[in-house]
Amino acid sequence: MKTLCLVAATAIALATSFSTQARDTTHFLPIEKALGAAQASGKIDGGVKFFFADQAHPGVAKDFGTFTTNKKTNAFGKSDATACDWAMQSALIELFNRAVKEGADAVVGIESYYKKNVYSDAEKYECHAGAMVAGVALRGKVVKLK
């Protein structure tokens, strides 16, 4: 009888833990917080400007193409907002590094592109958080401005 109770308790615990790990919560969080943190860390600087969604920007002198990022971060033991900010910072750093590599000075039309679904907003980004991992995907056009 004790063995049966132990097996049942273990099965319930395992079933509960699997459903927790499969969590995929969508968040729409402020861009400025993650962008400010990436700038404060020194990982990105003012040499590359970021323009989200349909934000106005100077004319484009040269278009280097559209690039995507798909960054994940460990979410274990972190709040969803904290994990999402880390993933967003990583995505912004990747876009920054691509712009520098191409000789560009801006990334325009940046939008969330999680699982190839577009979410375009000038103030918020889309992040998906689970029990173990949080992820942000961005897409933007790398350009040289006039």
Beta carbons within 10 angstroms of residue 116's beta carbon: 9
pLDDT of residue 22: 81
Which residues is 29 bridged to in the sheet? 125
Q: Are strands 133-145 and 106-112 parallel, antiparallel or unpaired?
A: antiparallel
Taking only the tens of pLDDT, the chain with its 146 residues reads 667 656 555 556 555 555 455 899 999 999 999 999 999 999 999 999 999 999 999 999 999 999 999 999 999 999 999 999 999 999 999 999 999 999 999 999 999 999 999 999 999 999 999 999 999 999 999 999 99
Q: Which of these, 136, 94, 97, lies nearest to 117 by C-alpha position?
A: 136
Ordered structural domains, the chain, with CATH: 24-145 (3.30.110.70)
Give the integer Cα–Cα distance in Å for 126 and 119: 7
Q: Which of these, 34, 136, 125, lies nearest to 85 by C-alpha position?
A: 34
User: Tens digits of per-residue pLDDT, 76-118?
Assistant: 999 999 999 999 999 999 999 999 999 999 999 999 999 999 9
